Amino acid sequence: MDPLILITGASRGIGAATARLAAARGYAVGVNFVRDEAAARGICDQIEMADGRALLLPGDVSNEEHVLRMFDQLDAFDANLTALVNNAGVVGRIGPFSGYDSERLKRTFDINIYGAFLCARDTVKRLSTTSGGAGGAIVNVSSAAARIGSPNEFVDYAASKAAIDAMTLGLAKEYGAQGIRVNSVRPGIVDTDIHASAGAPDRVEKFSSMVPMKRAGSPEEVARVILWLLSDEASYTTGAFVDISGGR
Ligand code: NAP
């Protein structure tokens, strides 16, 4: 059976680039999205037109019923789940910490932390060799924000990514002997729509000069590191944080 990978938030940006590359490397790909079905269908079409296999997976990762339904769909697909990329993530609007309202905080923590935990939980249940699985790998998409703290921008987002890094460490240790490797990637400024959603469509341009390499990264540059961490090339790498940030 083909190896199957679940990529959350795969309708655009880093998730979409990872979905395309995973398909090119031989995975059947579960393409999750929450809102933009047309974009997610477009990614599935691109994969299938290149002779790959894709499964469209609608669902809000912060809604447990949706997550359980997604995993039911994965179980019913004719492929063998071996990998998860916890990529779905959101950021609140840039602004001072004192102005964060509870709705913003809840959304950030629900999607970035709770959603990632739910997807990781339902993946390890299936992959653990102790529960009869064949092992596999998880990559959590964290952020350079976890070590920078993102003052004056989005400290809540930075904290949510630090939580993901703690999950990476804990799961790597808990499941290392059960055939599951767990790592984080920590992108810096990557050219995607997420900056516009933070109210700063010019953020890539504005911050590129602060990056030692003097440019933003592309989603494809992040996808290549994710696929490396999932592959046997990284067979002794677990509990690691890989910065993909042009030296920042
Ligand atoms: P993006 O272009 O805004 O894409 C976000 C993706 O997440 C979309 O596919 C979106 O689906 C999905 N999503 C949002 N909320 C969701 C939910 N509740 N359930 C399921 N899917 C959901 O973002 P991106 O820049 O590619 O970011 C991807 C990851 O990289 C995030 O975790 C982000 O924090 C991290 N990251 C990004 C950067 C950067 O500079 N871009 C840097 C560091 C880390 P819909 O299309 O359906 O809305």
| Confidence at residue 67, expressed as pLDDT on a 0 to 100 scale | 99
Q: Hey, how many other C-beta atoms are within 10 angstroms of the C-beta on 164?
A: 23
3-class secondary structure, 198 = coil
| Confidence at residue 82, expressed as pLDDT on a 0 to 100 scale | 98
Query: Which candidate in 100, 157, 175, 236 is catalytic?
Result: 157
Mean pLDDT of 37-55: 98
| Confidence at residue 173, expressed as pLDDT on a 0 to 100 scale | 98
Residue indicated by tokens 């490397």: 25
CA distance 231 to 228: 5
- Residue 172: pLDDT band (50, 70, 90) is very high
Average pLDDT, the chain: 98
- Residue 104: pLDDT band (50, 70, 90) is very high
Q: Which atom of ligand 1 is nearest to the CA of 14?
A: 26
Structure tokens at 82: 């071996």
For ligand 1, atom 18, which residue shows the shortest CA distance? 60
Mean pLDDT of 66-82: 98
Burial class (CB in 10 A: 0-12, 13-18, 19+), 161: buried
For 184, how many CA atoms within 13 A lie in the half-sphere containing its CB? 25
Q: Is the CB of 37 under 6 A from ligand 1?
A: no
Q: Is the full-model pTM beyond 0.95? A: yes
Check: CB of residue 32 under 8 Å from CB of residue 18.
no
* Alpha helices per DSSP H over the chain: 13-24, 37-49, 64-76, 102-109, 116-127, 145-148, 155-175, 194-197, 203-208, 219-230
Tens of pLDDT, residue by residue over 211-228, are 999 999 999 999 999 999
CA distance 71 to 64: 11
Q: Is the CB of 154 under 6 A from ligand 1?
A: no
Tens of pLDDT, residue by residue over 173-215, are 999 999 999 999 999 999 999 999 999 999 999 999 999 999 9
- Find all residues with CB under 8 Å of 133, minimum gap 6, and list them: 125, 126, 127, 179
Beta partners for residue 83, in sequence order: 5, 137
* Pocket-testing residue among 161, 192, 204, ligand 1, by greatest number of atoms within 8 A of Cβ: 192
CA distances (Å), origin 125, targets 89, 111, 139, 175: 23, 21, 16, 10
Check: CB of residue 213 under 8 Å from CB of residue 188.
no
| Confidence at residue 69, expressed as pLDDT on a 0 to 100 scale | 98
What share of the chain in percent tops pLDDT 70? Answer: 100
Q: Is 27 a catalytic residue?
A: no
For residue 130, report the distance from its CA to the centre of ligand 1, in Å. Answer: 32
For residue 134, report the distance from its CA to the centre of ligand 1, in Å. Answer: 29
Check: CB of residue 161 under 8 Å from CB of residue 112.
yes
Q: Which atom of ligand 1 is nearest to the CA of 62?
A: 18
Beta partners for residue 217, in sequence order: 190
| Confidence at residue 240, expressed as pLDDT on a 0 to 100 scale | 98
